[in-house]
Chain A
Amino acid sequence: QKEVEQDPGPLSVPEGAIVSLNCTYSNSAFQYFMWYRQYSRKGPELLMYTYSSGNKEDGRFTAQVDKSSKYISLFIRDSQPSDSATYLCAMTAARGENTPLVFGKGTRLSVIA
């Protein structure tokens, strides 16, 4: 079993829909959780960052972490065609320099106008 599992999709939704993207993980030591967005032919860019369990909201985006279930989610409200991209979850256990991120495989999202 991979440390981080993410459904690759593709996921296609109509404009204005609520999108739910999810990752599960197996390492209970993970406590820093991130979501990256990657547009075609570009590098990943940080979208959301959370520490430990709980919710974090930023505009139309909400990140949730449930450490008891080892499950994280990214919700996109009022989705727009400009949200069409691949979304990657990432996580790490500690704050030291020698703790690289572990990434999910990414979910490709298409928002149809």
Chain B
Amino acid sequence: NAGVTQTPKFQVLKTGQSMTLQCAQDMNHNSMYWYRQDPGMGLRLIYYSASEGTTDKGEVPNGYNVSRLNKREFSLRLESAAPSQTSVYFCASSPPRTGDQPQHFGDGTRLSIL
């Protein structure tokens, strides 16, 4: 029972490099989400995908792009990494009707931008 799987778990980048964070879920959930978590800031939503083929901006989308590759996979791309994007990134998924059943999270990708 893998749930939500994120790869890689750790990554160090130089400023200006690009990077794609991968997320896959095996629970047949419709909705998927990308968050970043910074000290003192809590979880902030970057992008989400309510269903396959749709994506929407969250609270902090600037500097990021997403792709909902299929129902299982939702990737987050940093085209030109900046030190301000140093963070822990979490992917989550939920079944239809978010209010009925809450989100399930992966264990995060720890990203450092030098």
Q: Determine how close the nearest CB of chain A comes to the CB of B6; give it in whole angstroms.
A: 8
Binding site of B, secondary structure by majority: helix, strand, loop or mixed? loop
Inter-subunit contact A31/B105 (CB<8 Å): no
CB nearest to B51 among chain A residues? A97
Q: How far is the CA of A45 from the CA of B4 in the complex (A)?
A: 12
Q: Count A-B pairs with CB separation below 8 Å.
A: 70
- Indicate if B2 sits at the interface (CB-CB under 8 A): no
Interface size of B in residues (CB-CB distance below 8 Å): 28
The answer to whether A103 touches B99, judged by C-beta atoms less than 8 angstroms apart, is no
B105 touches A44 (CB 8 A): yes
Alpha-carbon distance between A49 and B96 when the two chains are bound, in angstroms = 16
Contacts from B to A (Cβ < 8 Å): 4, 30-31, 33, 40-43, 45, 48, 50-51, 56, 58, 90, 92, 96-100, 102-108
- Some 16 contacts from A to B, beta carbons below 8 A apart, are A6-B42, A34-B102, A36-B105, A43-B107, A44-B90, A49-B102, A94-B99, A95-B100, A96-B99, A97-B30, A98-B50, A100-B45, A100-B58, A101-B102, A105-B42, A106-B42
